[in-house]
Chain A
Amino acid sequence: AQSVAQPEDQVNVAEGNPLTVKCTYSVSGNPYLFWYVQYPNRGLQFLLKYITGDNLVKGSYGFEAEFNKSQTSFHLKKPSALVSDSALYFCAVRMDSNYQLIWGAGTKLIIKP
């Protein structure tokens, strides 16, 4: 069965430190992987995606993610966290049979000044 796991409900990071939000997936075939961010009382905003090509993907707001096929992971990273990065982050994988996305449960990222 296809699935996405975000093992951490919450991640706390001090401002200026690097951050990582973890995502692992299980999907048959070649995965299409996505990260979205949701700020309070807002819709989901696209951050970045991996479809093919370089394993390191750069996205919006200084975020990047590394596709690791052997570990079936797509962790979201940022070298230096900002307080404004505090939000809910979702990882998703597209099913290979259609255009549906399988979503992780979300990780709340809290950046402390």
Chain B
Amino acid sequence: DAGVIQSPRHEVTEMGQEVTLRCKPISGHNSLFWYRQTMMRGLELLIYFNNNVPIDDSGMPEDRFSAKMPNASFSTLKIQPSEPRDSAVYFCASSLQGVGYTFGSGTRLTVV
């Protein structure tokens, strides 16, 4: 298995632009998590899906952020419009029944 695949690895965009981050979880995993990591706030859970259904999105900072999981093999995190304070590394992770969690390599987002 190739692991959790995230794209792009790096994204530089101008303030106000729409940004879409993508994640392919490990085949067979039924839970998917989006995290954001910054020096100031550390690792923050943004949203968590179980069986493609959003379970907890209380970590999504504001309405500019949205996430979807249209099927078991794909998820997106969208920021519209983006702001400089959104600059961070965004990680996707997947899990099978909560007994193991595998992280992707992350997307480093820079909003200028």
B56 at the interface (CB under 8 A from A): yes
Contact of B48 among A43, A45, A49, A100 (CB under 8 A): A100
Q: Is the CB of B99 within 8 A of A51?
A: yes
B contacts, CB < 8 Å to A: 31, 33, 42-43, 45, 48, 50, 55-56, 91, 93, 95, 97-106
With contact pairs A100-B56, A105-B42 given, residues A44 and B98 touching in the complex (Cβ less than 8 Å): no
Q: How many A-B pairs fall under 8 Å by CB?
A: 47
Q: Mark A32-53, 1 if CB is under 8 A from B, else 0.
A: 1010100000111110010100
A99 to B47, CA, bound (A): 12
Q: Is the CB of B91 within 8 A of A44?
A: yes
A contacts, CB < 8 Å to B: 32, 34, 36, 42-46, 49, 51, 90, 94, 98-101, 103, 105-106
Residues of B within 8 A of A103 (CB): 42-43, 45
Q: Is the CB of A32 within 8 A of B42?
A: no
With contact pairs A98-B56, A99-B31 given, residues A46 and B42 touching in the complex (Cβ less than 8 Å): no
A63 to B100, CA, bound (A): 17
Contact of B105 among A42, A94, A101, A106 (CB under 8 A): A42
Q: Is the CB of B31 within 8 A of A46?
A: no
Contact of B97 among A36, A43, A99 (CB under 8 A): A99
With contact pairs A99-B98, A100-B45 given, residues A43 and B103 touching in the complex (Cβ less than 8 Å): yes
CB-CB nearest 10 A-B residue pairs:
A99-B98, A43-B103, A44-B103, A43-B105, A99-B31, A103-B43, A43-B106, A105-B42, A94-B98, A100-B48
B31, closest chain A residue (CB)? A99
**Sample (14) of A-B pairs whose CB atoms are under 8 Å apart:** A32-B98, A36-B103, A42-B105, A43-B91, A43-B106, A44-B91, A46-B102, A94-B98, A98-B98, A99-B97, A101-B45, A101-B101, A103-B42, A105-B42
- Least distance between B72 CB and chain A CB atoms (Å): 15
- Least distance between A22 CB and chain B CB atoms (Å): 17
A99, closest chain B residue (CB)? B98
